[in-house]
Amino acid sequence: MSEHKEDIIRLSLSAVLLAAVMVVTHLLSLPVWACILLFAMPYLIAGYEVLTETVENVLHLEFFDEAFLMTVATVGAFCIGEYPEAVFVMLLFGVGELFEDISTDKSRASVEALMDIRPDKAEIETADGTKTVSPEEVAVGDVIVVKAGERIPLDGVVLSGESALDTAALTGESMPVSVAAGSTVASGCINLSGVLRIEVSGVYAESTAAKILDLMEHAAENKSKPERFMTKFAKFYTPAVVVLAVLLAVVPSLITGNWAEWIRRALMCLVASCPCALVVSVPLSYFCGIGGASKKGVLIKGAAALESLSSTGTVVFDKTGTLTHGDFTVSAVHPQQIDATELLEIAAIAESQSLHPIALSLKSAYRHNIPAERLQSVNEIAGNGILAVIDGKKVAVGNAKLMQQTGVEHRECHHSGTVIHVAVEGVYMGHIVISDTLKDGSTPAVAELKAQSIKTVMLTGDRKDAAEKIAQAVGVDEYFAELLPADKVSHLESLLNAEKTTVFVGDGINDAPVLSRADIGIAMGALGSDAAIEAADIVLMDDDPLKIAKAIAIARKCLGIVYQNIVFAIGVKLLCLLFGALGIANMWWAIFADVGVMVIAVLNAVRALRVKDL
């Protein structure tokens, strides 16, 4: 802020001096050299930075930026005796720049405040009491203590204590989440009430907070089409404007002999054509859009993703963990040869290493401590199930396809739901039927997308009848079942089209290939899922499908603002150039076309930061 203060003082001083000099020169008829000298004071005070920048750029053989335009225009104005105008242009240019700095800083600060999840310390338990260290120094397995009001520094599992967590910085949800012993907690959340003892499950660099911060810091590097266009445009634009201005000054003057008038018009055109409104407002709009989205728990990896999302034509959903909770309950156990507990036990041991929602559900259905030492080797076959060696015996746990592949004759089941078959040494042992529930947000999310004329598709590796039930309940336009991860990729490819963006939404468990193949991959419920954060373009911090429609709405609004600014700025400038060349407009018009348009464009850009609730 102190830097702004300096500028404010400098510009005010220049303004006061300018007024004084105008009064003095009006009252006394001074010689030309005295006028130049007097007006040069406020001019230099307001413009010395612009002038030095121009000199530096010219020395580096870089012509044709805004500073160059301003310097040529104002020095030119001095040459034809328009002293007050020259000072005004410089002064208002300075005011515009100042305004731009302040609003950019403000929006940056508010985005940074939202993303202020960087933990600064961790308190670890040691043999002799607790010790405060930096989060980077904590190792996996250390126990940290987090008191009420403190930010959780690392991901982990609660050992003891009960509390409510404020996850708003990560998910945008204001409802506190209650945790107790056994709950997994993500770094970046704030512990609201009790003291928690947490066993750390990953080092800081791998933590949720570090990942999100890293992602936000690099978001600006992925440039959008309009931004890339602007960079190229600026290269040709300014030289073209300068050449046109020179032509406008010289050609009519040679014909009419009225040099002063045509030079004045040419200088006016130079001022009016300054591209700063665009150069500033386009990236600022994206920045604010990304910031506003993150406030709602939607992390967008860059302007290019935001832009692509705004023209979404199809949204493809994964089923398990995306439209459904992925939190299966066992609805039937049909054993053969062994008893039900034994069947569940074999399944739970085989699944003990897996992070698949089915695995988690079977493990929790077993209820006892899993004798994981009986598991000798394990191989997870994505979209099929598990092949394992338990007590020296080959075990297969998975769907009908897995049974066919391993040559086991399995029995079909009349129950609805996902059926997990179990075979030991090629002998069928029975199956477990599990069923999943729809997320509350799934049906409204699909309805919301349809209302925006977006096609919805569901892809799943599950059985056809389980898939059909879910597809009908949520109302997706199409669904495809019994797909392996590779089939999901080829189905997605058939849905890609050139004009509209195809979005894939997954939970990050075995769908990373599809996430990266889609135009835009959205990973949801990403608190803790590393692969998803890597592969996706957009990360939803919680697993509410309604956020998808919200993210699309944010992207559309942001792109709307970008185009409004482009059309507005170019429109006003063209009009002003036209009127300037015709001699209708004067320097004041030009100043509005430059500074006024920039201020309006920046104010409009900042609107992208505000995101309405759906």
Residue 507 annotated in active site: no
Site string for Mg ion, 319-338 (x = CB under 5 A): -x------------------
Query: Which ranges in 332-388 belong to alpha helices (H)?
Result: 340-350, 357-366
Applying CB under 6 A, among 264, 296, 356, 547 the residue interacting with ligand ADP is 356
Stretch that binds Mg ion, among 241-249, 255-263, 502-510, 596-604 (CB under 5 A): 502-510
Q: Which is nearer to ligand ADP, 308 or 460 (CB)?
A: 460
**254: CB partners within 8 A, 6+ apart:** none
d(CA 20, CA 358): 80
Q: Pick the closer one to Mg ion by CB: 330 or 509.
A: 509
> Residue 356, CB half-sphere, CA atoms under 13 Å: how many?
23
C-alpha 160, offset from chain centre: 35
User: What is the rounded CA–CA span in Å between residue 464 and residue 455?
Assistant: 21
Pairing label, strands 427-435, 329-335: antiparallel
Tokens read off for 4 = 């702004």
Radius of gyration of the chain (CA): 32
Q: Which does 351 bind (CB under 5 to 8 A by kind): ligand ADP, Mg ion, none?
A: ligand ADP
Task: Determine, following the binding rule CB under 6 A, whether residue 354 of this chain makes contact with ligand ADP.
Answer: yes
Separation between Cα atoms, residue 514 and residue 535, nearest integer Å: 9
* Cβ-based nearer residue to Mg ion, 265 or 363: 363
Q: How far is the CB of 384 from ligand ADP (least distance, A)?
A: 5
Residue number with CB closer to ligand ADP (383 or 580)? 383
Figure out which of the listed residues 156, 297, 461, 545 binds ligand ADP, where binding follows CB under 6 A: 461
Q: Please state, in angstroms and rounded to a whole number, the distance separating the CA atoms of residues 181 and 584.
A: 76
- Closest CB 235 distance from ligand ADP, rounded Å: 47
Interface with ligand ADP (CB under 6 A), residue total 22
Shortest spacing between CB 424 and ligand ADP, in angstroms = 15
361 is a site residue for Mg ion (CB under 5 A): no
In 3-state terms, what secondary structure has residue 85?
helix
Q: Which of residues 89-128 bind ligand ADP (CB under 6 A)?
A: none
442 binds, among Mg ion, ligand ADP, none (CB under 5 to 8 A by kind): none
To ligand ADP, the closest distance from the beta carbon of 186 in angstroms equals 22
318 binds Mg ion (CB under 5 A): yes
- DSSP assignments along 472-506, one per residue: HHHT-SEEE-S--HHHHHHHHHHH--SSSEEEEEE
Site for Mg ion in 440-459 (CB under 5 A): none
Other residues' Cβ atoms within 10 Å of the Cβ of residue 126: 11
Catalytic residue (one of 65, 166, 318, 542) = 318
Stretch that binds ligand ADP, among 112-120, 143-151, 156-164, 349-357 (CB under 6 A): 349-357
In 365-500, where do the E strands start and end? Answer: 375-381, 385-390, 393-398, 418-424, 427-435, 455-459, 478-480
Nearer to ligand ADP, 285 or 352 (CB): 352
Q: Is 333 or 402 the residue whose CB approaches Mg ion more closely?
A: 402
Piece of the chain touching Mg ion by CB under 5 A; list 17-25, 252-260, 315-323, 345-353: 315-323
| Shortest separation between residue 320's beta carbon and Mg ion, angstroms | 4
Give the CA angle between residues 526, 531, 535 to the nearest 5°.
95
Structure tokens at 562: 């970008």
399: contact with ligand ADP by CB under 6 A: yes
Question: Across the strands, what pairs with 130?
Answer: 125
| C-alpha to C-alpha distances, 415 to 363, 366, 463, 477, 480, nearest whole angstrom | 21, 20, 12, 25, 20
* Encoded amino acid at 472, one letter: Q
Question: Min. distance of Cβ 495 from ligand ADP in angstroms?
Answer: 15
Residue span binding ligand ADP (CB under 6 A) among the ranges 46-54, 173-181, 336-344, 378-386: 378-386
Q: Which stretch binds ligand ADP (CB under 6 A): 141-149, 192-200, 352-360, 577-585?
A: 352-360
The one of ligand ADP, Mg ion, none whose footprint includes residue 163, by CB under 5 to 8 A per kind, is none
Q: Is 510 an interacting residue with respect to ligand ADP (CB under 6 A)?
A: yes
State the residue number with the nearest CB to Mg ion: 320
Distance CA 523, CA 529 (A): 9
Give, in degrees to the nearest 5, the angle at Cα 57 between 54 and 61: 130
Catalytic (active-site) positions? 318
Site residues for Mg ion per CB under 5 A: 318, 320, 509
- Report the interface residues with ligand ADP, using CB under 6 A: 318-320, 351, 354, 356, 358-359, 380, 383-386, 397-399, 418, 420, 460-462, 510
